[in-house]
Amino acid sequence: MERFLLFSIIGFVLGVGFVELTHRLVKKGFLNFYMLSLPLKLFLWAFALYTSYIFYGFLSFIACLLGFIFGFLFTLILRGFVKDGRPKDA
């Protein structure tokens, strides 16, 4: 159970970090750095999935994958509704 929770959290953090880093690079106008950072972000995510599957089995792989998807979508939803700490239309 601890492994499932651990890899869920790791996946969630990677998902949130993926969106946040992308959002900040694009917002600052560093689209070139976004393209350079994409392989690194994908490598980190793939490495986390690979490590979870090889060392801890299929359930840890699923936990990491679901955590990433949940973190990614959660952050995208927040980015859609919240801007600069307040709701968009406030």
Which residues are CB-neighbours of 9 under 8 A, at least 6 positions away? 67
- Distance, CA of 36 to CA of 39 (rounded, Å): 7
DSSP letter, residue 21: H
* Local confidence band at 18 (pLDDT 50, 70, 90 cut-offs): confident
pLDDT for residue 50? 86
CA distances from 64 to 3, 21, 24 (A): 10, 19, 24
Q: Return all residues near 21 (Cβ < 8 A) that are at least 6 apart.
A: 37, 41
Question: Whole-angstrom Cα distance, residue 28 to residue 70?
Answer: 26
Higher-pLDDT residue of 10 and 87 is: 10
- Model pLDDT for residues 19-42, shown as the tens digit of each residue: 888 878 777 877 777 777 778 888
